[in-house]
Structure 1
């Protein structure tokens, strides 16, 4: 049934298409090249910035649509920018002016650099190639706060939950937010979600969500997973996501090339 109706493959990147070393394996590359040969439309949808994501997906060696910053940017298979939306400067400043725990790493995703208040080695390790550069700043001295999104990270999720609740208390209904990982909280413009960006791509290609199968491991994938014809949750996803979307199938982990193995067995019928 999946093979008959499936025309679009949609995948998250970290914890999904990337393995534990934050790279795309040779096996995953070979499966996606076969999918391209069989004319499947491929979409990668990630929370990463486009400058960070582009060299990672190039490893697949196939043309694809790239949705980045959770839907704030869409690039075509020819790397043309098709859609772009930012949070305005005053909006971002109103969040940073709140009493946020100084131990939390805060990041503003800008167009060319990411600005942060803390040198976070673990955060730096997510990028094998430095194409999106870091800038250490004092947010109290910034003048331009316009950003693609705001990103918070801390090993203690309770601290991030407190930040989330603080922002929502002061700005109810003003933003879209999600935990991309239990230790990563992201706030975006209200109009930004991976699923909204994917809808634009599908419309452009004269397709709809019923033609798509999607893969993800984070709460920023939630709407994408429940909207596509078939949504698959990674085995390494948080139990809270698996429980919330208990009607969806759980597949092998990203360490085990779960996406590629599923596609090989179910779509390509290898």
Structure 2
């Protein structure tokens, strides 16, 4: 029987209103009572994932910032990996003056941005963190867990992704969480790496893991889980990349909870 349940948040467990329904909360708690381990696997900052966890009053593992920071059931950090300073510095400069793209940084417990132009996918309301502005000429590029670029110009972001891959290769892990958000972490970091770490820690085979996701940053996690599910509302590129993975109901229709009910 599957004993580890790893689930993405935005577009997967969370509705489009940024909420977890009462029905979904009930199913999660029932499964935890039956000794299933839950893992929230998100690109979000640790503080935001922690607040979602605490609102449910449950103990879970947390894979945050796409795997750059991982926490155990006791809220202790069990893995941390940051971008190399030189790479972080160059990434933060590459589109700093492009008004169509927002450059964003997670550094320790801080969130930094270069601008807040409205014609992009900047969704500050999704986070409880308060952003600050940065300038690369007087910024210290240490302890940066994630850099991400948001824009409504998807073509520009796709070109930027190719450029960054050409420059840094496997030194970074780069993916779209949604079409308008390009996220970069260390090359040894990913949601899949986080799930492997937790699996090893618990002594539970990856074959006994279930994973849910909707974005390209979920692909490696879905690929290694014994059973994987993709949301109906997921990125088409994810569906095409994993054509044999089952598609379930959307995040706005309690897709994860309805799927998990059978494991009760």
Q: TM-score range by the shorter chain?
A: over 0.9
- The answer (yes or no) to whether the contact 1:108–1:147 under 8 Å persists in 2 is yes
- The answer (yes or no) to whether the contact 2:230–2:246 under 8 Å persists in 1 is yes
Query: Any idea what the Cα deviations from partners look like across 1:41-71, whole Å, max 9, x if unmatched?
Result: 1111111110111111223322110110111
TM-score by length of 2: 0.94
Query: Any idea what the Cα deviations from partners look like across 1:16-63, whole Å, max 9, x if unmatched?
Result: 111111121111111001001111111111111101111112233221
In structure 2, the residue matched to 1:158 is: 155
In structure 2, the residue matched to 1:245 is: 242
Question: By how many angstroms is 1:170 displaced?
Answer: 2.2
- The answer (yes or no) to whether the contact 1:29–1:59 under 8 Å persists in 2 is no
In structure 1, the residue matched to 2:89 is: 93
- The answer (yes or no) to whether the contact 1:85–1:148 under 8 Å persists in 2 is yes
4+ residue stretches of structure 1 with deviation over 6 A?
none
- The answer (yes or no) to whether the contact 1:24–1:59 under 8 Å persists in 2 is no
Q: Does 1:257 align with 2:254?
A: yes
- The answer (yes or no) to whether the contact 2:100–2:153 under 8 Å persists in 1 is no
Aligned pairs for 1:192-211 (under 5 A) are 192-211=189-208
Question: By how many angstroms is 1:208 displaced?
Answer: 1.5
In structure 1, the residue matched to 2:124 is: 124
Question: By how many angstroms is 1:145 displaced?
Answer: 4.9
TM-score by length of 1: 0.92
What is the aligned length? 260
Question: By how many angstroms is 1:235 displaced?
Answer: 0.6
Unmatched 5+ residue regions in structure 2?
none
What is the CA–CA distance in structure 2 between the aligned matches of 1:163 and 1:229, rounded to whole Å? 33
Aligned pairs for 1:90-239 (under 5 A) are 90-98=86-94, 101-119=98-116, 122-127=122-127, 130=128, 132-239=129-236
In structure 2, the residue matched to 1:53 is: 49
Correspondent of 1:66 among 45, 62, 65: 62
- The answer (yes or no) to whether the contact 1:32–1:60 under 8 Å persists in 2 is no
RMSD, aligned α-carbons: 1.5
Query: Any idea what the Cα deviations from partners look like across 1:113-159, whole Å, max 9, x if unmatched?
Result: 111001267421213xx2x2311122233233541011101012111
Unmatched 5+ residue regions in structure 1?
none
